[in-house]
C-alpha cells in the first residue's frame, strides 16, 4: 500500500510546458513524473513500473507486435476506397491528401498519448473530459460510436460485395437453382453472415481472442494490395476507364475524398490500447511504433490508390475490387480474404458501440444478460439494414470519415493539446494545433454536408441495390 501511495505522489499533475521542456520527456513513461530513459535497456525503475502496473504487463509485446496492431488498425477497410477518393479529388490533389493526412495522423496519434501524459489520464475519453469537461468526454464517446457504427455498416457492405461473387465463381451454375441460387444474392448473404457469424461472435462479452487476429488481418490486406497491383496491369480493356483527364490537378469532390482518407487513417481511439500493449511503454517507443506504422500504411495506401485509380479512372467504384472481373481467380481470393476478415472484424466494432452505450447509460449498474443481448442485436441488425439499402461503399466511408474520423483524428487531439499548453494561440507550439483543429472542423461540416447533398440529388455512384 505504501508503494502505491508513493506512486500517486510522483504522478501529480505538472504544467504542460514544464513537462515539455524536460530533456527526457519524450522517453518517459505515460505516468507523469515517472522515470526517464535514454537507452533501450530496461532500468530497475522501469521494472518497478511494470510491477506497479500489475500482471497485465507480463502479457505485453514488443515494438513489432505494436506496429502490427497499429498498421492493422490503419490498413483496414478504408484502403480499398482510396482509389475512389483519388477519383473524387483529382489525381494530384488526391495523392497530396493521402500523404498530407498520413503526416497529420502520425502527429495526432502521438498527441493522443502526449495529452494523456500531460493530463495524467489513462484513456482518450478521460483526457478529453479533463480538457473540456463532461462535454469533451461525451463528445469522444459519441464520435467513437459513430465511427464504429459506420465501420460496422461498411463491413456489411463489403461482405455483400465480396462473398456472393466468390460463391458464384466457385459454383457458376448455382444462380440457376431456385433455392440455392439465394446463396449468390447479395442481401441474403449479408443476412446469413450476420445471423450465423457476426451476431454470435458479437454476443461474447470478452472478445480478447478476436482482437488478437491482427496477423491474419494483415496477411489478408497484403493479399488485397498485391492482387490489385498485379491485376491492374493486365485488366481487360473493356473494364478500364477513360484515359482523358487521368492526371487531373483537382476535382470538386475534395472534401468527400478527405472523409474517405480520414476513415482509412483513423486509429486514434486505439492509441491508448496500443501504447499500453508495449513492453515498458514510453513515448519514444510509441513514437517509433507510430512512425513505422504510418509509413508502411502510407506506402500500401499509395500503391492501391494510384494503381487502382490510373487503371479505372472515371469508372472507379467505392470498393476497388468491384471494378475487376467477377471470374478473376486472384481477385476472388482477395475478395474471400476481405469478406472473411470483415465477418470477424464486425464484432470488434460492435463491442466498441456496446461499451459506449453501457458507459453512457448504464455505468455502475450490474450486468444484465437481457440488456446485453438486446443492445447487441440492435447494433448488429441496424447496421445490417443500412448495408441492405446501399451498394455504395463510398458514401458510407465518406459519412463515417467526414463526421467521426475528422473529430477523432483532427479536432479532439489537436484541441486537447492546444488547451493543455499555456501561452498565446499564435505561439510555435499552439498554432499548428489550432490549424489542425480548425481543418478538422471544416472537413466535418463540408464533407458530411456535400455527401448528403449528393446522395439526396442522386449524384455519385450507385446507392441502391
pLDDT digits (tens, 9 = 90+) for 405-461: 999 999 999 999 999 998 888 898 899 999 999 999 999 999 999 888 888 887 765
The dihedral built from the CA positions of residue 107, 113, 115 and 117, taken in this order, carries a sign that is negative
pLDDT for residue 286 is more than 60 = yes
Residue holding cell 518497478? 48
Q: Left (φ > 0), alpha (ψ -120 to 50) or beta: where does 120 sit?
A: left
Q: Left (φ > 0), alpha (ψ -120 to 50) or beta: where does 280 sit?
A: left
For residue 420, the model assigns a pLDDT of: 94
CA distance 31 to 248: 49
CA distance 329 to 193: 22
The grid coordinates listed for 296 are: 508502411
Mean pLDDT, rounded, for 55-61: 50
Confidence of residue 384 (pLDDT cuts 50, 70, 90): very high
For residue 201, the model assigns a pLDDT of: 87
Q: How far is CA 359 from CA 173, 181, 354, 355, in A?
A: 50, 44, 9, 6
| Choice between 145 and 457, residue whose per-residue pLDDT is larger | 145
Confidence of residue 271 (pLDDT cuts 50, 70, 90): confident
For residue 461, the model assigns a pLDDT of: 55
pLDDT for residue 5 is more than 70 = no
Confidence of residue 276 (pLDDT cuts 50, 70, 90): confident
Burial class (CB in 10 A: 0-12, 13-18, 19+), 185: middle
Q: How far is CA 116 from CA 30, 143, 293, 417, 435, in A?
A: 7, 18, 20, 10, 21
For residue 208, the model assigns a pLDDT of: 56
Q: Report phi then psi at 462, rounded to 5.
A: -70, 125
| Choice between 42 and 381, residue whose per-residue pLDDT is larger | 381
pLDDT for residue 462 is more than 60 = no
pLDDT for residue 57 is more than 50 = no
Coil/strand/helix, residue 279: coil
Confidence of residue 214 (pLDDT cuts 50, 70, 90): low
Confidence of residue 86 (pLDDT cuts 50, 70, 90): very high
Mean pLDDT, rounded, for 29-56: 45
Confidence of residue 352 (pLDDT cuts 50, 70, 90): confident
Mean pLDDT, rounded, for 56-71: 71
Least confident of 13-17, 368-372, 379-383: 13-17
For residue 10, the model assigns a pLDDT of: 36
CA distance 293 to 299: 10
Q: Which residues contact 329 (CB under 8 A, 6 or more apart)?
A: 169
For residue 211, the model assigns a pLDDT of: 55
Tell me the CB-side half-sphere exposure of residue 425, using CA atoms within 13 A.
10
Q: Which residues contact 459 (CB under 8 A, 6 or more apart)?
A: none
pLDDT digits (tens, 9 = 90+) for 8-42: 333 333 344 444 443 344 444 454 444 444 444 44
For residue 355, the model assigns a pLDDT of: 87
Amino acid at each position: 500500500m505504501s508503494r502505491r501511495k508513493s506512486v500517486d505522489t510522483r504522478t501529480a499533475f505538472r504544467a504542460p510546458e514544464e513537462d515539455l521542456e524536460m530533456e527526457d520527456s519524450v522517453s518517459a513513461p505515460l505516468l507523469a513524473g515517472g522515470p526517464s530513459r535514454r537507452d533501450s535497456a530496461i532500468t530497475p525503475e522501469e521494472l518497478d513500473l511494470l510491477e506497479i502496473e500489475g500482471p497485465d504487463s507480463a502479457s505485453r509485446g514488443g515494438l513489432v507486435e505494436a506496429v502490427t496492431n497499429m498498421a492493422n488498425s490503419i490498413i483496414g477497410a478504408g484502403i480499398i476506397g482510396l482509389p475512389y477518393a483519388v477519383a473524387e479529388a483529382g489525381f494530384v490533389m488526391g495523392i497530396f491528401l493521402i500523404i498530407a493526412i498520413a503526416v497529420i495522423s502520425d502527429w495526432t496519434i502521438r498527441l493522443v498519448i502526449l495529452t494523456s501524459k500531460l493530463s495524467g489520464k489513462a484513456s482518450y475519453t478521460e483526457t478529453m473530459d479533463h480538457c473540456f469537461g463532461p462535454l469533451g468526454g461525451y463528445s469522444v464517446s459519441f464520435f467513437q460510436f459513430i465511427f464504429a457504427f459506420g465501420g460496422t455498416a461498411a463491413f456489411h457492405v463489403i461482405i455483400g460485395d465480396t462473398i456472393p461473387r466468390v460463391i458464384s465463381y466457385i459454383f457458376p451454375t448455382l444462380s440457376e437453382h431456385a433455392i440455392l441460387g439465394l446463396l449468390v444474392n447479395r442481401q441474403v448473404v449479408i443476412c446469413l453472415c450476420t445471423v450465423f457469424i457476426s451476431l454470435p461472435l458479437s454476443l461474447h462479452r470478452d472478445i480478447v481472442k478476436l482482437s488478437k487476429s491482427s496477423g491474419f488481418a494483415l496477411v489478408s490486406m497484403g493479399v488485397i494490395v498485391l492482387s490489385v497491383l498485379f491485376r491492374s496491369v493486365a485488366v481487360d480493356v473493356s473494364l478500364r476507364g477513360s484515359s482523358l483527364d487521368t492526371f487531373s490537378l483537382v476535382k470538386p469532390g475534395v472534401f468527400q475524398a478527405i472523409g474517405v482518407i480520414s476513415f482509412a487513417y483513423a486509429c486514434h481511439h486505439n492509441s491508448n490500447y496500443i501504447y499500453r500493449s508495449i513492453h515498458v511503454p514510453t513515448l519514444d517507443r510509441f513514437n517509433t511504433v507510430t512512425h513505422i506504422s504510418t509509413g508502411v500504411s502510407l506506402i500500401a495506401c499509395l500503391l492501391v490508390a494510384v494503381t487502382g485509380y490510373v487503371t479505372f479512372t472515371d469508372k472507379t467504384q467505392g470498393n476497388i475490387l468491384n471494378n475487376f472481373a467477377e471470374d478473376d481467380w486472384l481477385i476472388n481470393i482477395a475478395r474471400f480474404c476481405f469478406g472473411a476478415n470483415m465477418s470477424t472484424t464486425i464484432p470488434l466494432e460492435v463491442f466498441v458501440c456496446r461499451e459506449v452505450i453501457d458507459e453512457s447509460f448504464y455505468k455502475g449498474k450490474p450486468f444484465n444478460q437481457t440488456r446485453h443481448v438486446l443492445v447487441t442485436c440492435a447494433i448488429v441488425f441496424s447496421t445490417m439494414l443500412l448495408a441492405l439499402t446501399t451498394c455504395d461503399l463510398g458514401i458510407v466511408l465518406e459519412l463515417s470519415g467526414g463526421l467521426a474520423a475528422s473529430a477523432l483524428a483532427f479536432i479532439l487531439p489537436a484541441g486537447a493539446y492546444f488547451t493543455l499548453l499555456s501561452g498565446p494561440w499564435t505561439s510555435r507550439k499552439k498554432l499548428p494545433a489550432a490549424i489542425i483543429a480548425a481543418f478538422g472542423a471544416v472537413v466535418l461540416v463540408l464533407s458530411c454536408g456535400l455527401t448528403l447533398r449528393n446522395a439526396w440529388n442522386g449524384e455519385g455512384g450507385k446507392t441502391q441495390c
